[in-house]
Amino acid sequence: MASPVNVTVTGAAGQIGYALLFRIASGQLLGPDTPVNLKLLEIEPALKAAEGTALELTDCAFPLLHGIEITADLAEGFNGTNVALLVGARPRTKGMERADLLEANGGIFKPQGNAINDHAADDIKVLVVGNPANTNALIAQAAAPDVPKERFTAMTRLDQNRAYAQLANKLAVPVTAIKKLAIWGNHSPSMFPNLFHAEVNGQNAADAVDDMAWYENEYLPRVGKRGAEIIDARGASSAASAANAAIDHVYDWVNGTNGEWVSMAVPSDGSYGVPEGIISSFPVTTANGEYEIVQGLEINEFSQGKIDATVAELVGERDAVKDLGLV
Count other Cβ atoms within 10 Å, centred on residue 32: 9
131 is known to lie in a ligand binding site: yes
Taking a C-beta distance cutoff of 8 angstroms, is the pair 25, 62 a contact? yes
Closest by CA position to 206, among listed 234, 178, 174, 241: 178
The b-or-e profile of 175-194 (16+ CB within 10 A means b, else e) is eebbebbbbbbbbbebbbbb
Start-to-end CA distance of the chain, whole Å, equals: 41
Amino acid code (one letter) for 225: K
Footprint of ligand LMR on 37-96 (CB under 6 A): none
Given 5, 16, 83, 326, the residue binding ligand NAD (CB under 6 A): 16
DSSP string, 248-270: HHHHHHHH--TT--EEEEEE--S
81-118 burial, b if ≥16 CB within 10 A, otherwise e?
Answer: bbbbbbbbbbeeeeeeeeeebbbebbebbbebbbbbbe
Q: Which helix (H) or strand (E) holds 66?
A: strand 65-71
161 lines the binding site for ligand NAD (CB under 6 A): no
Decide if residue 255 touches ligand LMR (CB under 6 A): no
Question: Annotated catalytic residue: which of 119, 187, 197, 249?
Answer: 187
Does 129 appear as a known binding residue?
Answer: yes
Touching ligand NAD, residues 179-218 (CB under 6 A): 187
Question: How many Å apart are CA 227 and CA 138, to the nearest integer?
Answer: 22
**What distance lies between CA 252 and its chain's CA centroid?**
12
Please state, in angstroms and rounded to a whole number, the distance separating the CA atoms of residues 90 and 97.
Answer: 13
Q: Decide: is 230 part of the binding site for ligand LMR (CB under 6 A).
A: yes
Burial class (CB in 10 A: 0-12, 13-18, 19+), 270: exposed
Rule CB under 6 A: say whether 15 interacts with ligand LMR. no
Q: Is 201 annotated as a binding residue?
A: no
Q: How far is the CB of 43 from ligand NAD (least distance, A)?
A: 5
Q: Binders of ligand LMR among 149-168, rule CB under 6 A?
A: 158
Least Å distance, CB 237 to ligand LMR, is: 3
Residue 41 is a binding residue for ligand NAD (CB under 6 A): yes
Which residue sits closest to ligand NAD, CB atoms considered? Answer: 14
State which of positions 280-299 bind ligand NAD (CB under 6 A): none
Distance CA 82, CA 238 (A): 26
**Does the protein bind ligand LMR through residue 227 (CB under 6 A)?**
yes
Q: Of 86-94, 142-150, 284-292, 317-325, which part binds ligand NAD (CB under 6 A)?
A: 86-94
State yes or no: is 197 an active-site residue.
no
Establish if 131 lies at the interface with ligand LMR (CB under 6 A). Answer: yes
Q: Which stretch binds ligand LMR (CB under 6 A): 12-20, 136-144, 212-220, 237-245?
A: 237-245
* Binding at 230: pick from ligand NAD, ligand LMR, none (beta carbon under 5-8 Å per type): ligand LMR
Binding site residues for NAD(+), as ranges?
11-17, 105, 112, 129-131
Catalytic residue set: 187
Q: Which residues bind ligand NAD (CB under 6 A)?
A: 10-11, 13-17, 41-43, 46, 87-89, 91, 108, 129-131, 133, 155, 158, 187, 237-239, 242
